[in-house]
Amino acid sequence: MILRIAPDHVPEDITWQITDDQGNTLASGGPYAHPQFGMIAAGIAVEPVHQTGALLLVVDDEQAAPLALELARLEEDLYLEGWQVVRMDVDATTSPAQMKDAILLASDTLPDLRALFLLGDLPVAYSGRVMPDGHTDHQGAQPADLYYAELDGPWTDNASAGPRQRARAQPQRNR
């Protein structure tokens, strides 16, 4: 069995329970605190995946030296989980568009690229026309890491509006 939970914008309404044929609870979860966005994947009696593919680890170069031991451990852990880890350190002057181009170039040389791991104070791209916290004064473009992960089509964002509209056209570093 594989369980995937993809919370919406109201995670506090999500609960789940797995029971056996006797009605005994084997696993359960929720409600979740707001905001917890993402996906949970779990399995019972599922064969492990030993070869997961390539993972591009993008690291803020200012954090590379201070976190050298931790990054080495992370890379080893990822390797032991079955990932082929390729690391790319990003300079503080890199724009979001330049970082995206470097990721696209890496994806061209890594046909088995399956994951992107962003670590540190990297350039922040903004997108959208949302107000996830419900406050209208926050409506507009929000940070969008997905910009870096979308590799097989054009990234368009012509509908951003509101106080953060300026960020849509000029993604910036989070400093």
Cβ–Cβ under 8 Å, residues 145 and 99: no
- SS3 letters for 106-174? HHHHCCCEEEEEEECCCEECEEEEECCCCCHHHCEEEECCHHHHCCCCCCCCCCCCCCCHHHHHCCEEC
**73 and 129 part of one domain:** yes
Please tell me the predicted confidence (pLDDT) of residue 7.
Answer: 64
Are residue 84 and residue 167 in the same domain, yes or no?
Answer: yes
Position 71 scores a pLDDT of: 95
Domain count, the chain: 2
Which residues constitute the domain of residue 16?
2-43
Same domain, residue pair 99 and 165: yes
For residues 171 and 101, the answer to whether their CB atoms sit within 8 Å is no
- State residue 57's pLDDT score: 97
Residue with the two structure tokens 């997905």: 146
Shared domain for 139 and 88, answered yes or no, is yes
User: What pLDDT does 157 receive?
Assistant: 61
Q: In terms of domains, do 19 and 99 share one?
A: no
* Pair 97, 147 in one domain: yes
Say if residue 26 is in the same domain as residue 102.
no
Q: Is residue 140 part of a domain?
A: yes
Could you say which residues of the chain have pLDDT below 70? 1-3, 6-11, 33-41, 156-175
pLDDT of res. 27: 84
* pTM of the model as a whole: 0.63
Q: What is the pLDDT of residues 35-80, one digit of tens each?
A: 545 566 677 888 877 778 999 999 999 999 999 999 999 999 899 8
Rounded to the nearest 10 degrees, how much is the dihedral formed by the CA atoms of 91, 92, 94, 100?
80
Q: How far, in Å, CA of 68 to CA of 31, rounded?
A: 37
pLDDT of residue 76: 93
In the chain, % of residues over pLDDT 70: 77
Determine, yes or no, domain membership for 81.
yes
Give the residue among 61, 121, 62 at the shortest CA–CA distance from 87.
Answer: 61
